Amino acid sequence: MNPYEVLGVTENATDAEIKAAYRKLVKLYHPDRFANDPQKQAAASEKLKQVNAAYDMITKVKQGNYQWSNTPEFASVRAAIQRGAIGEAEAMLNRMSERPAEWHFLMGIVLMRRGWYDGAAEHFTRAYQMEPGNKEYENAMRAMSQTAGSYMDFGDMPEGGIQMNGKMCIPCGICVCAGASLCCGRGMFCCC
């Protein structure tokens, strides 16, 4: 997903142009406009998720908190993760013959979302070793290492709550550091 294309702006667009395009699309696709037609409402809701994800991605890139890939394959994987299509994201990654740092980072996100934290930690570490200047990879690796050994009974997690006893669960810790754009959307930063 190219977030600029989703919003209908160029990569050279000003912050004001991006915000205006975003607001226009939010009004256009707001599900409340289609309250009488469940099919249109569902389609609008899905489109609105894409618009919000694109705006979030552009905002994070501008703040330096997110590394957006110009590689269409990796952008597609990120979009699948954003939609919660983890199996689809994993299949796309497994079809790739080249495995640069971004591949390892995204595979780490996939494994983390599946609950396979050891494998996720290995991939986050590998991504950071390959590109030590990448903040997204560094944040994910650090969050994973800080939460290692903090496995919790997720059944005791409060609804929508991120913390228990002052600690974050592993998925939430990674999402906070890696960027909510890769979370499942149950909460602002919660992916459990």
Which segment, 42-51, 100-109, 113-122, 180-189, is predicted with the most confidence on average? 100-109
Average pLDDT of the segment spanning 14-38: 91
CATH topology of domain 3-63: Helix Hairpins (1.10.287)
pLDDT at 168: 45
Average pLDDT of the segment spanning 62-76: 66
pLDDT at 184: 44
Average pLDDT of the segment spanning 44-59: 82
Q: What is the mean pLDDT of the chain?
A: 74
- The answer to whether 33 and 25 have CB atoms below 8 angstroms apart is no
The b/e string for 38-71 (b: 16+ C-beta within 10 A; e otherwise) is eeebeebeeebebbbbbbbbbbbbeeebbbbbee
pLDDT digits (tens, 9 = 90+) for 115-140: 888 898 899 999 999 988 888 888 88
pLDDT at 65: 53
Please tell me the class of the 72-182 domain.
mainly alpha
Domain with CATH 1.25.40 in the chain: 72-182
Domain with CATH 1.10.287.110 in the chain: 3-63
